[in-house]
Structure 1
Amino acid sequence: MAKKKNRPTSGAATPAVATLKAAGVDYRVHEFDPGSDHFGQHAAQALSAAQGAEASAIFKTLVVDLSAGRGPRRMLAVCCVPVTGSLSLKKAAQAFGVAKVSMADPHDAEKSSGYITGGISPLGQKKPLPTRIDATATSHPTIYVSGGKRGLDIQLSPHDLATVVGAEFSDLAASS
């Protein structure tokens, strides 16, 4: 892993940033106005305008339920897909080796991750979950993921992200 070169901006300390700092990887923190809904779209617009980021390099973090709603105990997992598309639940099920997945209840996702919806990061989660990153991430030298709060994204190598969270790359995006 590369040495960390960029320090987080003041006020940006989140568990996600702390995780990267502890791992010693290179990253950059970007803050922007998150808007009040459609947080992924706001991130894409803000990061494209300010950083020249390609929208396909900006990833949203989605929490899925591997138990597909069966039983009282949920088995959650994380999928990171480009904000320009959507998650294929069928492909997510294949990636995790289960018959079916569903989107997690937002309350369950928030409770498990320690973050609020629209700001859930794959990094620094309260209860680390199995994670898959859409394979298109590897076509970019860096990608952007939520930094743990709305309006805060972290730019880093997709391979560093995978290493830090123990993720695998999989085909997760729904076909257009």
Structure 2
Amino acid sequence: MAKKNAAPTTAATAALVRAGIRFTPHSYVHDPGVTDFGAEAARELGIEAARVFKTLMVATDAPGGLGIGIVPVDAMLDLKALAAALGGKKAELAESKVAERKSGYVVGGISPVGQRTPLPTVLDASAEGFATILVSGGRRGFDLELAPGDLLAVTGGVYGTIRRS
């Protein structure tokens, strides 16, 4: 469990603490000129990009309309595969304003954990190959390391093959 005052308190860390899920916080100084947030996190934290995952919100024709795809930062999201995993046929990235409003986080710091509006979530199956992965902790410059199974437990998510390399 994270030590008291060891990490910023965000909706993500609060949700993990409430759920009793172990995590390790990782902070770094975010460069405001950088827009490839996931690659920056991997580089600054010295962690292979395949273990650092980005959270992407999509608008889909599946029931509910919105969903979350979590893929490694060194891969692209396969929108068609994510749509199918969510029960639809088509998906596109949600507009930034929609993603921020629904998640409660800013783009570049959207965590799959503790979102304002819980959405159907799919974690790329490549995560199964790691004991732990990193996802945004709810702000730019802050990531959380946790077991992929724990991430699925706290988000109610499922595994799926949703990435394009």
Give the CA deviation at 1:108.
0.3
2:19 is matched with 23
> Superposition pairs for residues 23-172 of structure 1, below 5 Å?
23-36=19-32, 37-48=35-46, 53-67=47-61, 75-172=65-162
Identity %: 41
For residues 4 and 105 of structure 2, what CA distance do their matches in structure 1 show? 18
Moved over 3 A (4+): 8-11
Aligned-residue RMSD, C-alpha: 1.5
Q: Structure 1 pair 44/9, CA: closer, same or farther in 2 (3 Å)? A: farther
For residues 59 and 142 of structure 2, what CA distance do their matches in structure 1 show? 25
- Of Structure 1 and Structure 2, the greater strand share is in 2
Structure-2-length-normalised TM-score: 0.93
For residues 2 and 113 of structure 2, what CA distance do their matches in structure 1 show? 17
Give the CA deviation at 1:9.
4.1
Deviation digits for residues 78-126 of structure 1 (CA, Å, limit 9, x no counterpart) = 1100001110111111111201011001100000000000000000000
Structure-1-length-normalised TM-score: 0.88
Q: How many residues align?
A: 162
In structure 1, runs of 5+ residues without a counterpart are 69-73
In structure 2, runs of 5+ residues without a counterpart are none
Residue 3 of structure 2 corresponds to residue 7 of structure 1: yes
